[in-house]
């Protein structure tokens, strides 16, 4: 049955997103198959519930496509038994032992005193989902061959989405492969401060040499270089030198270089030579996977339903998601109740999506129109003028995301006949938000006016 399930998984993998596949189907197996009654082994009760409610039909189809008779499908939690490791005596020469200790000390010194890296950030504890899988794939390519395909590696996205974790994980992985690599992680603010100090002390050459000796330079929060022309010029020169030597350059920012005010056009262009990768807000499945991984990492007991509750109600970023998770666990310990009991009896409330003020569709329409200096009649009319059409699509987007209105109801509110026009408008804004940080800022300002 192993080959059959392997083939079935290949079929399933083609039908769903990579994030859903890795979340729900990795580490599954067929435990038994008698007279068409299939029992599939999964990791925990959370997987049982999700697979039972969402994927039975797909699993049935996958098995039947490989000539497996299916009467019923059930799921059981697999018990894992770690093999006992037998100890054995190993004789190590004193010279070899000294060399090993020397190498370990060298790695520790390099990590803690020179690189700026935090060893807790690894790829192993970075949860991969549909919101970050492309960036992680690029990160793995860098670890395999630094300074080649993805160089420079420009990573951008909003706060709390894991940019710092991912780029430091790259640095730690490179260092584990080769402890002799010269790697430096530094926020751009520290780069700027060190540069100013070197100029004041007349040690500009030492500053240049420090960076030009690196094998990998990781700059975090690049957006804060705004207005610092001399630092930009210095960074530009260092960037060119490292790039010419095929040294790996990694940069994070909350937005694209072209959208950062006062950044030199030459520098902005060079930073995205190898493309730009963004980290997006995690979807429901991604958030569940993140919370499960965190629970497993700290051996915390939390019900699957509690994890789903947190995932459904926190739609800001991963930092807030983990913050709410930690708060519930702490209150659970203090009050002697399980996380789900706390939620069910109203002892704790997680709500990062809705605001305190209750709003109506009419208020959203009015606020968007006013923000763009339009009348409601203009915005909800048939005009195809770009800025009016955009305002109308933003209204559709907000009515959907803030109030969860159906596309038919949204169509009625904004004066369009076809619900497919609404679907197109919402999708258009969702796609634009990935790259257009001006639009992001505008929508946040509109929200503040709506709920203010």
The CATH number of whichever domain residue 297 belongs to comes to 1.10.8
Residue 350 lies in a domain: no
> What token pair was written down for 81?
């038994």
Q: Looking at residue 21, which CATH number applies to its domain?
A: 3.30.300.180
Q: Verify that 121 and 260 share a domain, yes or no.
A: yes
**pLDDT score for 240:** 94
Angle at 262 between CA 259 and CA 265, to 5 degrees: 70
Residue 151 in tokens: 């160089």
pTM as predicted: 0.61
pLDDT grade for 204, boundaries at 50, 70 and 90: confident
pLDDT one-digit tens code per residue, 238-271? 999 999 999 999 999 988 888 887 788 889 899 9
Q: Are residues 294 and 263 in the same domain?
A: no
CATH code, domain carrying 396: 1.10.1750.10
Domain identity same for 244 and 306: no
274 and 289 share a domain? no
More confident residue, 426 or 262: 426
- Better pLDDT: 143 or 297: 143
Give the residue ranges of DSSP H helices in 180-228: 188-200, 204-212
pLDDT classification of 380: cutoffs 50, 70, 90: very high
Q: Give mean pLDDT, residues 120-141.
A: 93
Which run of H or of E encompasses 423?
A: helix 419-435
Same domain (yes/no): 222, 197: yes
Q: What average pLDDT does this structure show over 372-389? A: 93
Q: What is the mean pLDDT of residues 232-236?
A: 90
- Residues 38, 15 share a domain: yes
Give domain status of residue 356, yes or no.
Answer: no
User: Which of 100-104, 354-358, 396-400, 414-418 is predicted with the least confidence, judged by mean pLDDT?
Assistant: 100-104
Mark whether 191 and 258 lie in a shared domain: yes
* CB distance 451 to 355 below 8 Å: yes
Q: Can you give the pLDDT at residue 46?
A: 65
User: Sheet harboring 183-187: ordered strands across?
Assistant: 183-187, 216-220, 248-253, 153-156, 276-278
Sign, Cα dihedral of 385, 387, 393, 396: negative
CB-based contact 13:21 (threshold 8 Å): yes
Q: Which of 164-178, 179-193, 376-390, 429-443 has the lowest mean pLDDT?
A: 429-443
Inside any domain, residue 149: yes
Closest CA relative to residue 361, chosen from 372, 369, 353: 369
Strands of the sheet containing 37-42, edge to edge, are 29-34, 37-42, 72-77
Query: Residue 318: is its pLDDT beyond 60?
Result: yes
At residue 432, the pLDDT reads 86
pLDDT of the residue at 102:
47
User: H or E segment at 251?
Assistant: strand 248-253
Percentage above 70 pLDDT, the chain = 88
Whether 250 and 172 have beta carbons less than 8 Å apart is answered as no
| 122 found inside a domain | yes
Tokens of 366: 């009015």
For 320-376, how does the pLDDT look when each residue is reduced to its tens digit (9 = 90+)? 899 999 999 999 988 889 999 988 888 777 765 544 457 899 999 999 999 999 999
What's the domain count of the chain? 4
Beta bridge partners of 155: 252, 277
What is the reported pLDDT for 91? 37
In a domain, 447, yes or no: yes
Going by pLDDT thresholds of 50, 70 and 90, the confidence category of residue 217 is very high
Q: Please check whether residue 250 is in contact with residue 170, taking contact to mean a CB–CB distance below 8 angstroms.
A: yes
Poorest-confidence range of 21-35, 116-130, 147-161?
A: 21-35
Highest mean predicted confidence (pLDDT) among 105-114, 136-145, 410-419: 136-145
User: C-alpha distances in angstroms, 236 versus 153, 249, 252, 264, 423?
Assistant: 15, 12, 16, 9, 43
Helix residue ranges per DSSP H, 280-348? 284-297, 304-313, 318-335, 339-344
Query: d(Cα 448, Cα 402) in Å, to the nearest integer?
Result: 12
> 160, exposed or middle or buried, with CB in 10 Å at 0-12, 13-18, 19+?
middle
Q: What is the pLDDT of residue 436?
A: 77
Mean pLDDT over the full length of the chain? 85
| 142 and 266 both lie in a single domain | yes
**Residues 185, 121 contacting (CB under 8 angstroms):** no
134: domain range? 102-278
């Amino acid at each position: 049955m192993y080959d059959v399930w392997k083939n079935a998984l290949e079929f399933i993998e083609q039908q769903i997103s990579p994030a859903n596949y890795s979340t729900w189907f990795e580490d599954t197996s067929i435990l038994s198959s008698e007279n068409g009654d299939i029992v599939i082994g999964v990791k925990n009760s959370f997987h049982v519930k999700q697979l039972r409610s969402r994927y039975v039909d797909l699993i049935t189809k996958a098995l039947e496509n490989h000539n497996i008779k299916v009467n019923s499908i059930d799921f059981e939690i697999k018990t894992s038994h770690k093999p006992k490791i037998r100890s054995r005596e190993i004789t190590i020469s004193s010279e070899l032992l000294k060399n090993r200790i020397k190498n370990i000390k060298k790695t520790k010194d390099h990590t803690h005193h020179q690189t700026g890296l935090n060893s807790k950030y690894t790829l192993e504890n970075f949860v991969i989902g549909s919101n970050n899988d492309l960036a992680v794939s690029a990160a793995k390519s860098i670890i395999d061959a630094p300074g080649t395909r993805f160089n420079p590696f420009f990573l951008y996205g909003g706060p709390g989405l894991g940019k710092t974790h991912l780029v430091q994980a790259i640095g730690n992985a490179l260092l584990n492969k080769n402890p002799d690599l010269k790697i430096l992680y530094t926020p751009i603010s520290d780069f700027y401060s060190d540069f100013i100090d070197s100029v004041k002390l007349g040690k500009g050459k030492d500053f240049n040499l420090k960076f030009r000796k690196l094998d990998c330079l990781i700059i975090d929060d690049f957006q804060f270089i705004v207005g610092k022309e001399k630092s930009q010029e210095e960074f530009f020169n260092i960037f060119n030198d490292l790039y010419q030597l095929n040294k790996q350059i990694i940069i994070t920012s909350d937005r694209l270089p072209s959208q950062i005010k006062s950044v030199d056009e030459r520098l902005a262009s060079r930073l995205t030579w190898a493309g730009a990768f963004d980290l997006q807000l995690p979807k429901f499945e991604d958030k569940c996977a993140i919370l499960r991984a965190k629970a497993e990492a700290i051996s915390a007991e939390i019900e699957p339903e509690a994890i789903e509750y947190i995932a459904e109600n926190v739609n800001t970023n991963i930092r807030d998601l983990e913050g709410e998770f930690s708060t519930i666990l702490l209150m659970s310990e203090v009050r002697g109740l399980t996380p789900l009991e706390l939620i069910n009896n109203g002892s704790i409330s997680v709500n990062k999506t809705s605001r305190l003020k209750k709003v109506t569709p009419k208020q959203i329409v009015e606020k968007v129109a006013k923000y763009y200096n339009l009348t409601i009649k203009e915005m909800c009319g048939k005009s195809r003028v770009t800025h009016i059409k955009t305002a109308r699509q933003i209204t559709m987007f907000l009515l959907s995301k803030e109030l969860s209105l159906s596309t038919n109801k949204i169509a009625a509110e904004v004066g369009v006949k076809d619900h497919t026009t609404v679907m197109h408008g919402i999708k258009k804004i969702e796609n634009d938000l990935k790259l257009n940080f001006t639009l992001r800022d505008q929508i946040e300002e509109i929200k503040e006016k709506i709920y203010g």
